[in-house]
Amino acid sequence: MLESAQALITKTAEKMQLDGEMIKRLIEPEFAHEFALTITMDSGKKKVFKGWRIQHNSALGPYKGGIRFHFETVREEVQALATLMSIKCAVAGLPYGGGKGGIVVDPKKLSKTELERLSRAFANRIAHVIGEDIDVPAPDVNTDSKIMAWMLDEYEKLKGMHAPAAITGKPIALHGSKAREFSTSMGGAYVLQ
């Protein structure tokens, strides 16, 4: 997936006669945050989860992209998706760059409290590199408004301020969007029409 995204950028950039250094700038992420998240399971035992937040390109504005929780997530996938978010935002004329996050986990195997601990640990780890003018995370595979609410709460505790624009995909009561639950499928329908 990463090779495909990079090949797409390279092919297009070469057709536009961009120089090699510009192509490298478009391919490589500006920042790649990789970390281990250690949480206490309900059993009392500690468990380590691998996580990433890739910030691909901010030339058009703050990074924007989802956070996925999946047992097959790998860094290359997260980087490829961040790259594709940059392209998607640029093509759509949106004032955002591309970002993406992920944790290697099967959330279906976690209790609600374990899932909350993991979500808060992730938010804690990326809090210094996100915010409404820097990077705005959103839900993706196996993440939802409840998880985004936990992440926002953790972010606001760390920052000591109310910051609803720092994370999207939250419940409506936390300044979320009424269209969030179906916006991706609706966008797909518009594109197909």
Return the active site residues.
100
Strand partners, 166: none
Helix (H) or strand (E) holding 63: strand 63-70
Strands 63-70 and 97-104: parallel
Strands 31-40 and 46-57: antiparallel
Nearest-5° Cα angle at 71, 42 to 180? 90
Residue 93 is given by DSSP the state: T
Helix (H) or strand (E) holding 91: helix 75-92
